[in-house]
Structure 1
C-alpha cells in the first residue's frame, strides 16, 4: 500500500521519539541529540499526528510509553539497529575489499592473463565476490551495471570513465616451424601470396593484415585465405597444426615462440599495435573492492607476456 505522507517525512521524529522514550524526558533527549527541548517535543508530536496514535504520556516530571508507544518503540529500535548495521557494513566495504565486483574481459586475453590475476585477488580477499563475463564487444558500464572492463583498442574519450593503460598488444605474423620449413620463409609482403593464410575474423570481405612500411606507416595488405577460424585460441591451434600463417597477438604466441613450436616471419613488418586498457566509471572515491582489483591488474600488467608496458 502506498504511503499517505511524503517519503521525506517517513522517518521524521523517530530518532527524537526513541531518545525521549529511552531517557524519559524531552530535555535529556534534546541534550543527546543536540536539539532544543521544544524541537524534540514538536518532532514527537508530529510523529504521533502522522501515526494517529498517542505514543507518550507526558507529565511535568517524566515521559512514559503508551501501549502504542511500546509497540512502536520496538519497531523503531529494530529499524535503527538495522540501519546502524548497514552503515557499519558500508564503511567496512569502503575500507576493505568486500562484496560483488562485476568485470567484463576480452575472451582470449581475459581467460589467459586476466582471470589468473582475479583468482589471486579472490584468494587474498575472501569477502570479495567476482562476477566475470567474457566478450569482445564494447559494453556500457553504467547501463549494464559493470564495475570494470578490460578492452583492447581505442578506449574512447568519455568523461564518465577512467582508463588505465595496462600495455600494448603487438601483432606478429607466424606459423608452425614445420610449415615454415616446408614452404620457405616470406621475405617481403608480396611473398604472402604464395602461402596459406588463416583468417581470424568472420567478415566475408577479402582478408587484409596490417603491415608496416619502411617509413613507419601502417597499411592493410590483402592476403589469400586458406582457412577462416573465428576464435583466437582455435586460430592458434590451426597454425600450430601446420595449416598456414596467421597474424596473432604476441601475448598469445610468446611461449610457443620461446619453445620453438611457432616461428615469426616478416619481423618488424607486422603492424596493428593496439593499447590495452582497464576502464571503470569515474567516482569521487573508488570502493575498496574495486581498488583491490585495479591495483592487482596494474601491478600484474608489468608481467603480461608480450602485452604490457609500464603504465
Structure 2
C-alpha cells in the first residue's frame, strides 16, 4: 500500500523573526540594528528575506515613516508571545535562584502609576541590576498580550479571562469636596441629595455616571450629571480642592488632601465600592522571573505605606 508523503513544514527563520520584532518594537531599522549589534543593511536584508519566505509584506517603508501591515501586526503578536514564552521557559529551567534579567515592559494606570509605582522604580532597579524597566502609563484597558507587555497593573473589575491575575492591594473610594464648597453649598446627608450639587466625574469609570453607595446592607445607586468630566483622578482632585464640587476619587489619590484638611469626606456614613489592585499577566505556563520580582517588590513596598483607606467616620470634621 502506498503512502502519501506529508508536506515538510519549513524551519522558522529565527534571525529574520528576531530582526522583524526589533524593528517593529523600536520603529526603526537603525535602532533595531543597534539593539542587535548588526548593520542596518543586515537587518533590512533579514526582514526582506522573511517577507519573501512568508509571501507577504510585513512592513510599509517610506523615507519618513515605518508602519506595520495588517499581516505584520498579526505576525508581531504571535512572535512576541513566542519570545515571551521562550524567555519564561529559560527562567523556569534556570531556577528561581537566577537573578532576574532583561527588559520588563509594564503598563500601569496613569494616576496610580505616577503616585505608587514610579516612586519605587529606582529602588527596584538598584536591587535587580540586570533588569531594564519600561513603564507605560495609560488608563485604557490595554491587552498586554497584543501590546507586548510582560505585566499590567490594573484597578477595579477584571473582565478578560484569558489573563492571569493576582490581587496585590486594595483601595477604598471616597466622596470628597473642599470644606469651602461644602460651607457654601451645604453638606448632603443622603445620596439622593447629590443631585443638587456640582459633581466631578471620572470619565473612564466603568460604572458610568451612576454612583453606588452601601450602608448596613442597603445599596443605593444615584445617576448624576456632572459639572466637570476628566479622565484623570489628579485633575479631579485639583478641581475639588479648588472648590469646584464633589468628587468620587480613590483614596490612594486623595489620602494626603484628606489628612491635611484640604478635602473633607462627604457622606461619611456611606461606603462606596472599592478598587482591587491586580497584577495581570498573559496566561503562560512559566511566569518570567523579572515579572515575579517586580510584583513581589511592589507588594513589599506598599506594605510599608499607610492603608489606602478614608478617615474614620467618627473623626474630626472641619467646619
- Normalising by structure 2, what TM-score? 0.61
2:52 is matched with which residue? Answer: none
1:118 is matched with which residue? Answer: 121
1:300 is matched with which residue? Answer: 301
Q: 1:255 and 1:115 mapped to 2: Cα distance? A: 18
Q: 1:226 and 1:6 mapped to 2: Cα distance? A: 62
2:200 is matched with which residue? Answer: 198
User: Is the radius of gyration larger for structure 1 or structure 2?
Assistant: 1
Q: 2:296 and 2:94 mapped to 1: Cα distance? A: 20
1:272 is matched with which residue? Answer: 273
User: Once the 2 structures are TM-superposed, how far is the Cα of residue 102 of structure 1 from its aligned partner?
Assistant: 0.4
User: Once the 2 structures are TM-superposed, how far is the Cα of residue 289 of structure 1 from its aligned partner?
Assistant: 1.8
- Count of aligned pairs between the two proteins: 223
Q: Is the 8 A contact 2:173 2:251 kept in 1?
A: yes
Q: Is the 8 A contact 1:113 1:304 kept in 2?
A: no
Q: 1:92 and 1:100 mapped to 2: Cα distance? A: 19
Q: 1:137 and 1:202 mapped to 2: Cα distance? A: 8
Correspondent of 1:144 among 147, 154, 176: 147
2:190 is matched with which residue? Answer: 188
User: Once the 2 structures are TM-superposed, how far is the Cα of residue 182 of structure 1 from its aligned partner?
Assistant: 2.6
User: Once the 2 structures are TM-superposed, how far is the Cα of residue 121 of structure 1 from its aligned partner?
Assistant: 0.3
Q: Deviations over 1:154-212 (max 9, x none)?
A: 22463x53311122232111001222223222111232233221122179x99332222
Q: Is the 8 A contact 2:199 2:227 kept in 1?
A: yes
Instruction: Say yes or no: does 1:130 pair with 2:104.
Output: no
Alignment of 1:61-72 (within 5 A): none
Q: Is the 8 A contact 1:175 1:263 kept in 2?
A: yes
SS of 2:278's equivalent? strand
Q: Which runs of 5+ in 1 are unaligned?
A: 9-86
1:290 is matched with which residue? Answer: 291
Alignment of 1:10-89 (within 5 A): none
SS of 1:280's equivalent? strand
Q: 1:292 and 1:109 mapped to 2: Cα distance? A: 20
Q: Is the 8 A contact 1:101 1:147 kept in 2?
A: yes
SS of 1:95's equivalent? coil
Q: 2:94 and 2:280 mapped to 1: Cα distance? A: 24
Q: Deviations over 1:79-125 (max 9, x none)?
A: xxxxxxxx9xx959981122100000011111110122233201222
Q: 2:121 and 2:208 mapped to 1: Cα distance? A: 38
Q: Is the 8 A contact 1:94 1:287 kept in 2?
A: no
2:98 is matched with which residue? Answer: 95
1:25 is matched with which residue? Answer: none
Alignment of 1:162-177 (within 5 A): 162-177=164-179
SS of 1:100's equivalent? strand
Q: Is the 8 A contact 2:215 2:269 kept in 1?
A: no
CA RMSD of aligned residues (A): 3.2
Are residues 268 and 166 of structure 1, via their aligned partners in 2, closer, same or farther at CA, if it must alter by over 3 Å?
farther
Q: Is the 8 A contact 2:175 2:267 kept in 1?
A: yes
Are residues 206 and 104 of structure 1, via their aligned partners in 2, closer, same or farther at CA, if it must alter by over 3 Å?
closer
Q: 1:190 and 1:213 mapped to 2: Cα distance? A: 14
Are residues 101 and 172 of structure 1, via their aligned partners in 2, closer, same or farther at CA, if it must alter by over 3 Å?
same
Q: 2:279 and 2:212 mapped to 1: Cα distance? A: 25
Q: 2:294 and 2:274 mapped to 1: Cα distance? A: 26
1:212 is matched with which residue? Answer: 214
SS of 1:301's equivalent? helix
